[in-house]
Amino acid sequence: MKQQLDAIRETAEKELENIKTTADLDSFKVKFLGKKGELTNILKQMGKLSPEERPKMGQLANEVRAFLENKVDEQTKKIKDIERNLKLASETIDVTMPGKTAPLGHKHPLSIVLDEVKEIFMGMGFDIATGPEVEWDYYNFEALNIPADHPARDTQDTFYITEKMLLRTQTSPVQIRVMEKQKPPIRILAPGRVYRSDAVDATHSPLFHQIEGLVVDKNITMADLKGNLEQFAKRLYGEDTKIRLRPHHFPFTEPSCEMDVSCFRCGGKGCSFCKGEGWVEILGGGMVHPKVLKNGGIDPEEYSGYAFGVGLERLVLFRFNIDDMRLLYDNDMRFLSQF
Ligand code: DAH
């Protein structure tokens, strides 16, 4: 039996040296030290020994067991170290490698210019107002002094939903909605989508954007309109920009005007862009018509106001020197990623 024990100890020791993984170590433990392992098998034969031999063999067997358990512990530590180093090596991060750049989105040119315009007017104390795109005929036309038979209706090719409901053709109805809810002083900017049944070409689209402005207070005059809009033009197109007001007609303002700015390409000398004029038109405006103030629930004897309406697309085309409005709606990344 002593020989058997010595033999186990010898083979076990050799096998152990070659073990390189935790899994192999586990099967080794089962094979030699487990309940059905080789050592236990030998101990089961103890009964056949004489009473004198038994304690000696018992001691020897325990020594072998202790020896092997010790060795297993040592090997376990070694393997753990090796496995840990392997794991660390495979997880090494080279912090000097360049990072992966996430593709950043771009602001749409319409948003860039709208944000600038908002910024300019908010700096002058304007609040942002909104109104519905599906609008009543009353707000879009009637209350703005454009009755049913008014020729101005023909110039705005309207998408009607019912006889009384339509897609707003202008942001001007927001004027009435704001006046109905708010007492003067009023100072609002109302940007939004508007709709007209126009065929698509380089300068027309059935959906486009306007920005409406409305100021109502005591003693508001044309000088306020001129001063504020001059500031706006200079902030948007540069300090050297000049403005001029030309008489015009809108049903909801009296007097009415159109505002030109000095041509941003030639600075006013006259070029192909401004058709030799030196000026380009950018907005319409005027003093709010007394009837319109009344329709908004404001007493025209006590208050006066000015209003204006700008086409956002026009501002964008001028600003970025783009000659076709369709580019703004095509969502072509080759175009959009330039901004
Ligand atoms: N609503 C007009 C249009 O769509 C633009 C406009 C002109 C708005 C004069 C105004 C204004 O508020 O005073 O053509």
DSSP string, 315-331: HHHHHHT---GGGGTS-
CA 95 to chain centre: 29
Ligand 1 within 6 A of 285 CB? yes
Residue type, position 159, single letter: F
Please give the pLDDT value at position 257: 98
Ligand 1 within 6 A of 192 CB? no
In whole angstroms, give the CA distance from residue 81 to residue 298. 85
Please give the pLDDT value at position 8: 82
Please name the helix (run of DSSP H) or strand (run of DSSP E) that holds residue 2, with its range, or none: helix 2-18
CA of 161 to the centre of ligand 1 (A): 22
Please give the pLDDT value at position 281: 94
CA of 153 to the centre of ligand 1 (A): 13
Three-state DSSP string of 182-247: CCCCEEEEEEEEEECCCCCECCECCEEEEEEEEEEECCCCHHHHHHHHHHHHHHHHCCCCCEEEEE
- pTM, two decimal places: 0.72
Return the residue whose CA atom lies nearest to atom 7 of ligand 1: 284
Spell out the per-residue pLDDT of the chain, length 339, in tens: 788 888 888 888 888 888 888 888 888 888 888 888 887 887 788 788 888 888 888 888 888 888 888 888 888 888 888 888 888 888 888 889 898 888 888 899 999 999 999 999 999 999 999 999 999 999 999 999 999 888 877 767 899 999 999 999 999 999 999 999 999 999 999 999 999 998 999 889 999 999 999 999 999 999 999 999 999 999 999 999 999 999 999 999 999 999 999 998 888 899 888 889 999 999 999 999 999 999 999 999 999 999 999 999 999 998 898 989 999 999 999 999 999
